[in-house]
Structure 1
Amino acid sequence: MKIAVFSCKPYDKRTLNKAVETSSDLELVYFESRLSMETVSLAEGFDGVSCFVNDDLCREVINQLAAYNIRAIAMRCAGYNNVDLYCAKAHNIPVFHVPDYSPTSVAEHAVALIMALNRKTHRAYHRVKEGNFALEGLMGFNLEGKTVGCIGTGRIGAAFCRIMNGFGCNILCYDISENPDLQTLGAEYVDLATLYKESDIISLHCPLNASTHHLINDQSIAQMKEGVMIINTSRGALVNAQQAIDGLYQGKIGYLGLDVYEQEGAIFFEDMSDHIIHDSVFQLLLTFPNVIVTGHQGYFTDTALEHIAQTTLDNLKQMQNTPPQYKRELALST
């Protein structure tokens, strides 16, 4: 199979090249461009495409991929909210993703945001660089004994809960299905209203869908404790950024850590240091001293990249080796 790899950065190419060394039946061609209607013509002549979180696999793009006889879409990420699955099924194009690349990498990044916001290490770093060793304004709080709310307890959420349990935190969880291993650990499953009301820290680890879109909004923020810390390392659109800013102004949100942003597609994964970022909401977020934004790097560890590369290739091999009579069945599940 000949695969067009979109949104490919140098680090992606390195890990994919290493993984493909043992797969002589796969040929990878790399494109730094994101897949969109403007770039979909690059997929002509290929058997499949491999895409990432900010590629646009809308109905129009998938229709065009089908016209090019694309036989597989292999996502190099866990999420697939940017893929029109119904259209892919209609064209009998299987969609693969990487559900388990390294849950601890994202969970650890969420904890890193918590620690940095709490102990204000981002501010202390700049002070010390300027010869300012004053501690006023840098006071944090002990995590031990604090209540941490985890929304979404899949692989990443569960890893996050285990880490926070190690700090001596009380863990509250919300999910459509309960994880008995976390309950054994001492975590308690509650409804969202209880989680909002009782949590000192709320971390989001749920997928983006119709029911979770803008989960953090004026109504949910109003139910939270004064000075709550909110962490999002999942999907940007879980948080209504403008309404989170309102919460920051009001003091309702005391700390905000974001590794994802709803409009990140235009800026993340690119060097924008010489450009004006035409997003007033994003720019405003960066002005708050109690906000930390990172550029979707939660997954970015050597272990995760290696696993993503290998799983992506394994998914494509699965497609290649699936007998024709099973290919439609394969297309109906992701």
Structure 2
Amino acid sequence: MEIIAFGVLADERPLLEAACAPRHGVRCVEVFLNRYTAPTAGGYEVVSSSVNDVLDAPVLETLRAGGTRMIAQRATGYNNIDLARARELGMTVARVAFYSPYAVAEFAWALALAVNRKTVRAVGRTREFDFRLNGLMGRDFHGRTVGVLGTGKIGTAFSRIAHGFGMRLLGWDVVENADCHALGMAYVDKKQLFAEADLISLHVPLVPETYHLVDRGVLASMKPEAIVVNTGRGGLIDTSALVAALKSGKLGGVGLDVYEEEAGVFFFDHSLEVMTDDVLARLMTFRNVLITSHQAYYTRDAVGQIVTGTVRNVEDYGAGRTSENTLVPPGG
């Protein structure tokens, strides 16, 4: 089966090609899928998309007219796909429901530790042979309280690391996780979690109920030195409210691997351009804010599992099978 894969990163390409060979041909393109690039998929029955592709109704209609019958998303999230329209068009859609949760959980801790211990600022100084410690004082995480919003596989992996640090665990989720209970986690309402946590990490999906989960009111309720880490989805945080809180000196620090307006910005080189996103530009000016470009999942282990799962989804489609990865089954 011939596949065209959009938004394929350089490190990802050999893994995807190896997973497809020898049963499937795959054309890897670096450009992201949108209404302008969708005609490129003409003649391909299967399109593999990334989480930063746009698969709204017009794009899906263009793909369907060009012969595409199956969308294989190389990600767990799928809020970028109009599933209702895909169903109406009779297109099969699948995602990778599971890959290494440790990749994201470990990176969330990398952000938390770097923000707390001001690692980036310290490295910048030492590169200039400035070895002073002024302004670099952090805090022990041991004995402090961590709030984990979303205690699925990633949230649980994050919580295990927190337990190793000797932290008090607070959790919030629609379903309580027995593995987190075993770590000593207490499930509380959001109000208590945000008010008591010294470190807050977001691991919930982006759905209407979680959009701007962290808003102006929530930020005002947090401890003055609280650290917020988001490796989930950018829309979980009201970024304008976050900037306002940072300007007032309210937060101890922020680590962001995602940003609600990241489409068209993340994964591209804008170093020679004027940054037109005023909110993102303002975020970059805060010394207690660390922003990375949606790389938490980006380990050989996780990406390998993603591409393997994607190819399995394509083979399931070819055989008329469905699985836990199927979002829209054959025939809708």
Superposition TM-score tier, normalisation by shorter sequence: over 0.9
CA contact (8 A) 2:93 2:327 kept: no
1:48-197 matches, cutoff 5 A: 48-197=46-195
CA contact (8 A) 2:94 2:327 kept: no
CA contact (8 A) 1:150 1:161 kept: yes
Partner of 2:11: 11
Partner of 1:20: 20
In structure 2, the CA distance between the partners of 1:153 and 1:68, relative to structure 1 (3 Å rule), is: same
In structure 2, the CA distance between the partners of 1:328 and 1:265, relative to structure 1 (3 Å rule), is: closer
1:289 CA displacement: 0.5
Letter in 1 for 2:138: G
Q: 2-side partners of 1:179 and 1:237: how far apart?
A: 24
Partner of 1:330: 329
Q: 2-side partners of 1:95 and 1:191: how far apart?
A: 35
Letter in 1 for 2:159: C
Compare the two structures and name the one with the higher helix fraction.
1
Q: 1-side partners of 2:247 and 2:165: how far apart?
A: 30
CA contact (8 A) 2:3 2:25 kept: yes
CA contact (8 A) 1:205 1:232 kept: yes
Letter in 2 for 1:190: V
Q: 1-side partners of 2:320 and 2:167: how far apart?
A: 47
1:66 CA displacement: 2.0
Deviations 1:268-315 (A, max 9, x none): 111222222211110110110100000111011111111111111011
Q: 2-side partners of 1:40 and 1:283: how far apart?
A: 30
Residues paired across the two proteins, number: 329
Letter in 1 for 2:329: L
Q: 2-side partners of 1:216 and 1:328: how far apart?
A: 28
**Residue 292 in 1 paired to residue 275 in 2?**
no
Partner of 1:45: 43
CA contact (8 A) 1:147 1:169 kept: yes
Q: 2-side partners of 1:262 and 1:320: how far apart?
A: 35
Name which of 236, 239, 249 aligns with 1:241: 239
Letter in 1 for 2:135: G
Indicate the SS of the match to 2:200.
strand
1:329 CA displacement: 7.2
Name which of 267, 276, 279 aligns with 1:278: 276
CA contact (8 A) 1:244 1:253 kept: no
1:331 CA displacement: 4.7
Letter in 2 for 1:41: P
Partner of 1:254: 252
Q: 2-side partners of 1:149 and 1:329: how far apart?
A: 34
1:263 CA displacement: 1.0
1:197 CA displacement: 1.0
CA contact (8 A) 1:254 1:290 kept: yes
Percent of paired sites with the same residue: 40
1:5 CA displacement: 0.5
In structure 2, the CA distance between the partners of 1:273 and 1:329, relative to structure 1 (3 Å rule), is: closer
Q: CA RMSD in A?
A: 1.7
Indicate the SS of the match to 1:271.
coil
In structure 2, the CA distance between the partners of 1:216 and 1:176, relative to structure 1 (3 Å rule), is: same
1:222 CA displacement: 1.6
Indicate the SS of the match to 2:329.
helix
In structure 2, the CA distance between the partners of 1:155 and 1:328, relative to structure 1 (3 Å rule), is: closer
CA contact (8 A) 1:92 1:328 kept: no
Indicate the SS of the match to 2:12.
helix
Deviations 1:308-332 (A, max 9, x none): 11111011001011169xx997259
Letter in 2 for 1:221: L
Partner of 1:302: 300
Q: 2-side partners of 1:305 and 1:284: how far apart?
A: 32
Give TM-score scaled by structure 2 length: 0.95
In structure 2, the CA distance between the partners of 1:323 and 1:140, relative to structure 1 (3 Å rule), is: closer
CA contact (8 A) 1:52 1:76 kept: yes
Letter in 2 for 1:7: G
In structure 2, the CA distance between the partners of 1:68 and 1:126, relative to structure 1 (3 Å rule), is: same
Indicate the SS of the match to 1:265.
coil
Deviations 1:35-86 (A, max 9, x none): 1111110111010100111100011111222222312111111100101111
Q: 1-side partners of 2:30 and 2:250: how far apart?
A: 41
